[in-house]
Amino acid sequence: MSLLADEVEVLRRTPLFQGIELSRLKLVAFTSQVMRFSDGDALFHQGDTGDSAYLILAGEAMVVADSPIGEIELARLGPHEVVGEIGILCDIPRTATVRAVGDLATLRMGKECLSDMLDAFPSMARVMLREMAMRLNRTSAELVSARAAAALPT
């Protein structure tokens, strides 16, 4: 099986791309770039311009954000998960830094291609928004817990 066929198969099994016709998946795979990272390498940094999203093919990535008390780990992501999609939907700087945890292989998908896919397939946009809403819900719950713990008398 060719590398392109492998990438199409990974896209097909990724929840974000389920239900997308094969010809469109081939286009995404063809216009995307496989990128490999070593432990600690950054895919992108907080504050960077959001020009692409990354589909994790193999390995794990850690999402961290700068704070007044130092760097805070927000999440860990693994195969078939997408990171950097906020930069595709909004023209805002990256909200976090993403680093490889061990060896990491990703498929870097450009903003233009993904924007076209979202326009053509509203179901894809709904899946992306649902995932972002779930992440926001988790982050909100963690914030409530952290603030409650900080408010407890010592």
The residue that leads in pLDDT, 154 or 68, is 68
Q: What is the pLDDT of residue 126?
A: 81
Determine the straight-line distance between the first and last CA of the chain, rounded to whole angstroms. 61
> pTM of the full predicted structure?
0.83
Q: Are 131 and 125 in contact (CB under 8 A)?
A: no
89-135 tens-digit pLDDT: 788 899 999 999 999 999 999 988 888 888 888 877 787 788 778 88
Helix count and strand count (H, E) for the chain: 5, 6
